[in-house]
Amino acid sequence: MADARTHLSRWLTAAVWGTGALLGLILVQSVTGWGTEAQAQALNDLAQLPVTLLTAVLGLRLIRRGGLDRRERRAWLLLEVSFVLQLAGHLAALAVRFGGRQPGFPSMPDYLFSVAIPFVVAGLLLLPAERRNRTDRLKLLIDSLIVVACACMALWYVEIGPLLEIPGVDPFVILFSTAVPVLDLLLVFALITLLLRRPEAGAAVGLLGASMALKVVADSTYTIALVQFGIFFGPGDWPFLLWAAGSFFSLLAVHRRMTWNTTAQEERGRRGRVSWLPYVAIVFAYALLAFVARKQSLYPLGGMILGVVVLTALVIARQVFAQRENRRLAVTDPLTGLSNRALITESLTELTRQPVRDGRHGAVLLIDLDRFKPINDAYGHDAGDAVLQGVAAALRAVIRSGDTAGRLGGDEFAVVLPALPSRDAAEGIAERLVDALRTPVVFGNQLLHVEASVGVAFHEEGTADAEQLLAHADAAMYAAKRAGRGHYRVYTPDLDTRARDAELWRAVENDELVVHFQPVVDLADGGCVAVEALVRWNHPERGLLLPGAFIELAEETGAVIPIGEWVLREACRQAAAWPVKLSVNLSARQVVQPGLVETICGILDETGFPAERLVLELTESVVLQPDEQTVARLSALRDRGIGISIDDFGTGYAALNYLRTLPVSVLKMDRSFVAAVDTDPDAYAVAEAVVRLAHAYRLKVVAEGIETAAQAQCLLELGCTYGQGYHFARPMPGGALAELLAAAR
């Protein structure tokens, strides 16, 4: 199917340029002067007929194929009516000429070409464009009317006025002749409005606008030459070449819209700034006024005209300076003098529009200050402002002249780096920024020390827009913070927390998670008394991933909640028939969920797993500062017979009195205390202290990470009853563990 579409697209492109090549016959006739006037006119109509026919056919196909929103579809429907009328006009002209009759003026083709113009105007005005507020729409209307008023003056003096003064001409001919420049004036209004609105699908609309502009120029020069200088242009003269070129541009516009990729957005088509058009129109209008009044005496009109010109020029100059000042205020952060978020976004948008090529790289640095809030809290907001101003000075000292540095808000800054010679150049700037921001800021008698974490993201193929590029830099910056702060990190896809979070949620939905079980044994006889459920991610591309590769991210994003519930349900389902206890980890995010007790009890009821055989393992981050609700939830679970265990005990900062507050029944000694228990007297003493502490609180002890028989023997001598580790068994799928338990029985 894709090959067929590609094949059709190539045929359409060939047809478009093939019919365009036929228009070259008009140019050849113009250069060589071949044939009579009637033959030249017939050749002109014959050459344009395939172009207008293909334009109408492709326009109809564009409307019928779908993919256009309601407003744009109506616009192209009106444009299609104009294409059909132009096709009918050329057919009518050929019918008249091959019928052997000499067409008069106005003739049927003239009527058809003229009737097509209002449909073009309506279609151009309906094309979707940038969303604007009411004030911007009013400014747009005023700017358009300024240009149209100047065009109206020009048309009146050089076309309409002289036409009305021609004596002895049929009034209907005069009326129709003056209607043509009026219709062209409507086209001018539509074109100027289109340019100032910066519509979507820029390339297609630009081609359409060029087509209409060529028509206006051809119509105007044809009429002006006739009424002002008595020159009559015939077939083969350059107004006819402009009309033919305009037809071809209309065909290109329809073809471009059909092949326009909506995901690319063709932002480069919006770069042109046309806000100068109203000022150019005013200059043109005064030049025309001076030309018309050139025969008047200096008094009374000359001085008045000169005064009005000078006053208007001064008003325009003041307006320009006011716009520049408003622009500066609108894009500048008042505290630091750097660019604000609006200008940074604009610079990033411009950066993402640039094509990616060797030797020219673009990047953005996202800078977040470390330990800025304590400065604000300890020394006040004036001190915080001094730090922010110091950061701005450091940024100006490090970046290049063409770079854009700005404050996004709070203590977050960004630097846009266009046209870099290499990726290393961006990393060099990031490194210098990190070093420069370590310089303390003097505030009164205080030296305020601050550092920054910097995220670096490069504009590469596949970077959709400024928002995505900034999100990449943000992900890299937070990775730098997690890695210890005070340095920079370059974005890589594995740092994209949003994408990885979405991938995690899909893993739950697509059953990509699996549960492995590790036995917990009685150190005295080696019998299996419990199993710990451990989640694994069977990634479709990266294979089997251990929890260290994704659990931290799941904790940050909240995906750990559905993952934890899935693990508990799956572990209970598999272990229901095993004659051992089951330990399942409970994350800090799960503990604070209001419906925790109901969720766990619901899973037990669903799977039929006995509550008295379930042990929930908590990390010390939960034990550190348990609130009343947490204690109440854990107590409710304990009342239902569920055991509570503290995992990795000794690695956090849990206060000992919380061992009395919480309904804990088991301590799991971290593997760091077990690793050297048989060789290091200090490690032996610490392990002994942990065991005695647990016994003092009437808690059972499970030693994690036992890898040798000597370690198991030492722990047994210390009074540790249970243990788990590779010495006994590695984590294994449920089926393998069931076989192991059956063999032991």
Q: What is the pLDDT of residues 368-378, one digit of tens each?
A: 998 888 888 88
First to last CA, the chain: 61
Residue 453 CA to chain centroid, in angstroms?
Answer: 23
| Beta bridge partner(s), residue 409 | 412
pLDDT for 454 beyond 90: yes
Angstrom distance (rounded) from CA 488 to CA 480:
6
For the residues of 447-504, what is the DSSP string, one character each? Answer: EE--EEEEEEEE--TT---HHHHHHHHHHHHHHHHHTTSSSEEE--GGG-HHHHHHHH
Higher pLDDT, 434 or 184: 434
Residue identified by tokens 């199917």 is 1
**Is 267:349 a contact under the CB 8 Å cutoff?**
yes
- For the segment 79-93, what is each residue's pLDDT rounded down to a tens digit? 999 999 989 988 888
CA distance 454 to 458: 13
Segment (H or E) for 616: strand 614-618
Q: What is the pLDDT of residues 467-513, one digit of tens each?
A: 888 888 888 888 888 777 788 999 887 776 667 777 778 888 888 89
The closest alpha carbon to 644, from 690, 589, 700, belongs to: 700
**Tens digits of per-residue pLDDT, 106-120?**
788 888 888 898 898
Give the other-Cβ count within 10 Å of 171's Cβ: 7
**Degrees to nearest 5, angle at CA 41 with 187 and 34:** 130
Residues in the chain: 745
The SS3 assignment for 366 reads strand
pTM: 0.48
Flag whether pLDDT at 583 surpasses 90.
yes
Please give the full DSSP string across 655-685, using - where no structure is assigned.
-TTHHHHS---EEEE-HHHHTTTTT-HHHHH
Query: How crowded is residue 35: how many other Cβ atoms within 10 Å of its Cβ?
Result: 14
Element (H, E) at 347: helix 341-353
Predicted pLDDT at 26: 80
pLDDT at 438 over 60: yes
Do the strands 581-586 and 528-539 form a parallel or antiparallel pair, or are they unpaired?
parallel
